[in-house]
Structure 1
């Protein structure tokens, strides 16, 4: 019985991770489908009410939410891996350093060759901080996480009050830059790589100011939740899950609506509100899925998502391969030719295909293709995908 409960607990985490992959793809695909988002410009070719509605809904309900859920799960899994190493009598620090090194290499290659921006290299760098803090008390970890959000409240709040960001955002210049980026993405492989490299400073600024700090906060919260076994033996009827839904959806949707209506990333105050409220909506999404998966019919949802979550790294990289082939000149060259609604439909289609392929792959192999390679680096052993259980 205990083995069944433990397996269900692990499947809950894998299913949450699989669900987070969909949200991440919905955000990332917009940067592959057009050169306009990275320059915070509106594509004049898609200016209808439907285009604006899709963009608004994505900004309100998806942007800046799902990487937090993914980061929380990274921190949670970090704690599980540390406990597994202790049970096996293995040295955790060198194993994790090798794992983070592997992630960094994958992330660097990913961000240069496949897509604008990357989260794996960020995880690797911030993972070093998490590794250094692995023995801090729960109180210290949560205090640091709260301090990060306090820091962002002060810095982004001061920027919104005292810095005129409009002087850095000339619409004509942004439009020209967006058109140039779109043309480069439609070009040769070297043109695409050049565009990815040119975007690194812009992406790096976002990481330093917002995404990096909030990722660390989510790591720490996930680690504490893992320590306290708060996701263990869930029934789906816990009052805390209902509370997370009530507060999370109320605060998160209100904040997301303001963020979307106020101009998104082009408005510092809107970014501040999103940073402060996005964790609530992320928590509400997670709580809703956990409650759903513990209903009679919701078990099917868990079984559907688990393989995608078990192969999250392979699927994350696979999403970038798919979008590169669809949108850049390396493949079909659809960049700038797909509406927001069509882009959303493609994201859902890619994810559905990945779910199906994940089921097929794991019917023969114990690990995803990239997971097996990273596991070999972590354990310093020969790559092995087919386990005895396969």
Structure 2
């Protein structure tokens, strides 16, 4: 449900211009435009479902009432498309970041200030997109992730610590608990920056250990001890046992690996990028396994309540201290009622959210839809602080593709891309198909349907599948014959931001009640709808870029970023200006 808006993806052109000026069309990395245009198809196939179904049901997998072609279309997109294409766009975003940085370094120009304006513009686009068009936006998430990347690469420890302290303080304000999540996200960014840039070592008994490794292993040890204590306490809370039991040992392993493979420094960003993604997917998978193998906390509480002796009236009046202790300690039956009440509350909230979304988007007026999305935007913004950690990893991986020179000369590295297509793609899709054998649907609250195991495996497979799709597109681009015509997608990719927002505009007007009201279109028909609109976008992009240097939104974005008005119409005498140099 996402798109990387046309990143700056041209190689550095020596000598670098002294001021922001258009560069020649031949200097574009055509492969990136083609990959971006291809990815827009996957993005559209994935997003269109959530213009016809409440986003509140996103964690439920395939609809249980889907049959025939609708089930087949949903299954194919879930395991061959979903999760693979937002990762592609995240890679492209990281590549654009690296190209901008390289050019700024070569030209001796300031980078961070310009890039902050770029992030601000993207955040505004994303917020407006979320509130006024569709609540599946990812542009704002990219802006938060890009800000996190700047913190990782250049953030100063004292300011990061001060920011964390302020955010934690704000979290104690009634109704402002989301600040705790933002504080955690900022703290993780600071920790990643310590791994990437830290040079200090803890020297103890002949061991030289990086401070990042010390901190991570310390946290992992603390979580592991806490998990052990909770498992040993019969009356202790049961819900935290699983997460602590998974992430404690995982952090211990991460800390040890970061110590063992701390050098060379040149490989840290690549190792960290891959580790971030694997950590998330592995944590989800192992958590699902533990959840599947352990009893439901409600069943445990009910068994304890059934085994507890019936309470009898005391023969003598208890002392004040004993009475206070009795009140403080909950009985087994009270714990049962507490768990039931909490689950009932969460279920009612889910059902209420689903019903509100269906009513608002299927038949409600436009202002009601705007009000609903605006009400949910603060929650989305806070959640992006956690998602930004994954995005930072993807951005760094994309940056490596540029820094290593792989994307600068794709033909020279064609063997590498073929290997991605023939090895990484089958491996990634294969992991998803294994996940499909475990579970394709989920009932919220069901701990033993295997859904979290399947979802974790699917997430782990998305990264190699994403890289495999990139390799496949590059391989086709350099092939001879008909398949090389995939380059027809390049103009679509050059206008990715415009086309991404256009897809949302078209879908909102076609499916929502305040438009044509076709909410609930069957999944198989959605595929046909995507094919028609996508083909029209390819044609429109060719037509537009034959007359103009930029897509409309790209023009606006660049103008704000560079504080100049880019030349929109092509100068027929001088030829097209493909992009603004950075």
The answer to whether the superposition gives a TM-score over 0.5 is: yes
Alignment TM-score, normalising by the size of structure 1: 0.88
| Aligned-CA RMSD value | 3.2
State the distance in 2 between where 1:169 and 1:233 align. Answer: 56
Q: Would the alpha carbon gap of residues 128 and 215 (structure 1) be closer, same or farther in structure 2, given more than 3 Å must change?
A: same
Deviation at 1:68, TM superposition (A): 0.4
Query: Which piece of structure 1 moves more, 95-104 or 215-224?
Result: 215-224
Q: How far off is 1:56 after superposition?
A: 0.7
Relative distance call for 1:353 and 1:259 in structure 2 (3 A) is farther
Cα distance, 1:190 vs structure 2: 1.6
Distance 1:36 1:154, change over 3 A: closer
Deviations 1:52-80 (A, max 9, x none): 11111110001111000110011111111
Q: 1:314 aligns with which of 498, 501, 523?
A: 498
In the TM superposition, 1:295-306 aligns within 5 A as 295-296=479-480, 297-302=482-487, 304-306=488-490
Equivalent position to 1:274, from 445, 449, 458: 458
Residues 66-120 of structure 1 show CA distances to partners (whole Å, capped at 9, x for unaligned) of 0001100111111111222234442111110000000001001111111122111
Q: Structure 2: any 5+ residue segments left out of the alignment?
A: 1-10, 14-23, 155-195, 197-264, 299-342, 445-450, 577-582
Gaps of 5+ in 1: none
Distance 1:147 1:283, change over 3 A: closer
Which residue is equivalent to 2:399? Answer: 223
CA distance in 2 between counterparts of 1:287 and 1:115 reads 31
> Offset of 1:264 from its aligned partner?
5.8
The more displaced of 46-55 and 105-114 is 46-55
Range that drifts further, 186-195 or 122-131: 186-195
Greater CA drift, 103-112 or 264-273: 264-273
Partner residue of 2:477 out of 276, 293, 305: 293
In the alignment, does 2:332 pair up with 1:332?
A: no
**Larger of the two Rg values belongs to structure:** 2
Whether the 8 Å contact between 2:269 and 2:397 is mirrored in structure 1 is yes
| 1:21 has 2:40 as partner | yes
Structure-2-length-normalised TM-score: 0.60
In 2, Cα distance between equivalents of 1:270 and 1:195:
32
The 3 A distance-change label for structure 1 pair 364 and 192 is: same
Q: Does the Cα contact within 8 Å between 1:236 and 1:293 map onto a contact in 2?
A: no
CA change 1:179–1:361 in 2 (3 A) is: same
- Tell me which protein shows more helix as a share of its residues: 1
Residue of 190, 198, 209 corresponding to 2:367? 190
Q: Does 1:72 align with 2:91?
A: yes
Contact kept? 1:65, 1:281, Cα under 8 Å: yes
**Does residue 1:142 correspond to 2:319, yes or no?**
no
Q: Does the 8 A contact of 1:76 with 1:219 survive in 2?
A: yes
Change (3 A) 1:195 1:251: farther
1:23-76 CA-partner distances (Å, limit 9, x unpaired): 111111111122266354589796322221111111000111100011001111
**Residues matched between the structures, number:** 385
**CA 1:42–1:139 in 2, change beyond 3 Å: closer, same or farther?**
closer
Give, in whole Å, the separation in 2 of the partners of 1:55 and 1:184. Answer: 24
1:207 Cα deviation from its structure 2 partner: 4.7
- Cα deviation, 1:206-252, whole Å, max 9, x if unaligned, reads 7566x543322111011011011112323388332222122223221
